Amino acid sequence: MTREEILTAIREAAEKLGHPPTFSEMEDITPMRRRHIRKHFGSYIWALKECDLKAGHNSRRIPVEALFTEWATVARRLNKLPSAAEFEERSKYSLAPFHRRYTHWTKVPGAMREFALAHGLETEWLDVLRMIGDKNEQGAAGSDDHGLRPIQGGAQGQKSPYKAPVIISGRPIYGTPMVPAPLVHEPINEMGVVFLFGVKAAELGFMVTLIQTEFPDCEALREVAPRRWQRVRIEFEHESRNFLRHGHDVNGCDLIVCWIHNWEECPLEVVELRKLWPKLP
């Protein structure tokens, strides 16, 4: 469409509708598209001004739910996160409400992801959320000047080195734990003990050099004097008494790391995580 054709179409639509037409209304009744507006006027608002009309819709009041649905729908149609130009070309909304809420187009994908998770939309829009995760890993979305910044994560708000995790369909979504912990519940098996030891090994004074499925489970260095370290052989057990039940040789191990120490006559050194845990940073 030429410049004059656009202006004529807008004036005729305004007269017919009795109000300044929205861009989506013009798309429905004319061949007008965003590319025509950008080419001749820059934005639809300027086209209305040339017709001595004012935009009748306050984009500032568009609810976030509507913005999310529109943005996600465009992303699904494109099968990728839309650049600003791609979105404006295909959407009934302009970029204005997004810029007013999120300042820059680069912030939109992250904001849309947060909205979806907060409102339980992860199942319905799982494919779009995966696109956000993929683009987060690549460090770019859409065109060259509309990249997606890394999603913030971690207990201290640090940037995560991993991509946004894939949301598993059909499972509930939880809020952030109010008491952050590496393991929400105390361990009930040996693997829980292994995990907790790995989390706090440094604070306990160990540097692990080997983890294996054979006996003993672990080999580590331990500081035995200032600037002096020694190798120790470690066996993990949920209860220290399980060392006997498993038939292990005390001569092949130096230390038992467990959650519950219930082997009173144990000839080996025992690190009982249950008692140490409250004292650890």
Specify the amino acid at residue 133. Answer: G
Average pLDDT, the chain: 83
Nearest C-alpha neighbor of 37 from the set 49, 46, 50: 46
Q: Using an 8 Å Cβ cutoff, are 113 and 165 in contact?
A: no
Highest averaged pLDDT of the listed ranges 41-55, 113-127, 129-143, 148-162: 113-127
Structural tokens at position 32? 């007008």
> Please, are residues 126 and 88 in contact by the beta-carbon 8 Å criterion?
no
State residue 137's pLDDT score. 55
Res. 163 pLDDT band, cuts 50 70 90:
low
> In degrees rounded to 5, what are phi and psi of residue 271?
-105, 110
Mean pLDDT of 106-114: 91
The pTM (predicted TM-score) of the whole model is 0.47
Beta bridge partners of 223: 229
pLDDT of res. 145: 38
Buried b (16+ CB within 10 A) or exposed e, 100-126: eebeebbebbbbbbebbeeeebbeebb
Residue written as token pair 């035995």: 224
Q: How confident is the model at residue 88 (pLDDT cuts 50, 70, 90)?
A: confident
